[in-house]
């Protein structure tokens, strides 16, 4: 399950941050998981709950935001919103789409103490 290694990566970032910013507990983590990222937010939530035990993020609350996918349509020459990879352009129905956003997995904000 690749969500497990992603979650481990997130926890490593949190512990690095704790060292550099000098905090000892993470209260809330805001995580952005793009809808085109191939990452299952529920799986991340599940993995986070089990792997954060015994770490600074043990009691952290996970807030997951799922920004919509963005793509540039070569036929319309404009940016459109796509909900799924492989979907046609919602304006012209074409498939000449170049994904420009919604693939990210990143921590956007932390509440710490």
Among 43, 64, 76, 99, binds Zn ion (CB under 5 A): 76
Of 18, 4, 94, 1, which is closest to residue 48 (Cα–Cα)? 4
Nearer residue to Zn ion within complex by CB, 46 or 72:
72
Among 6, 29, 56, 73, binds Zn ion (CB under 5 A): 73
Among 75, 83, 95, 106, binds Zn ion (CB under 5 A): 75
Residues that bind Zn ion (CB under 5 A): 73, 75-76, 89, 91-92, 94
């Amino acid at each position: 399950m690749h969500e497990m290694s992603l979650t481990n990566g997130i926890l490593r970032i949190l512990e690095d941050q704790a060292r550099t910013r000098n905090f000892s507990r993470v209260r809330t983590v805001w995580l952005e998981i793009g809808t085109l990222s191939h990452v299952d937010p529920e799986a991340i939530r599940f993995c986070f709950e089990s792997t954060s035990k015994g770490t600074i993020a043990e009691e952290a609350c996970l807030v997951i935001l799922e920004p919509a996918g963005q793509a540039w349509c070569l036929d319309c020459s404009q940016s459109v919103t796509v909900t799924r990879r492989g979907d046609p352009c919602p304006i012209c129905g074409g498939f000449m789409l170049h994904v420009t956003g919604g693939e990210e997995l990143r921590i956007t904000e932390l509440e710490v103490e």
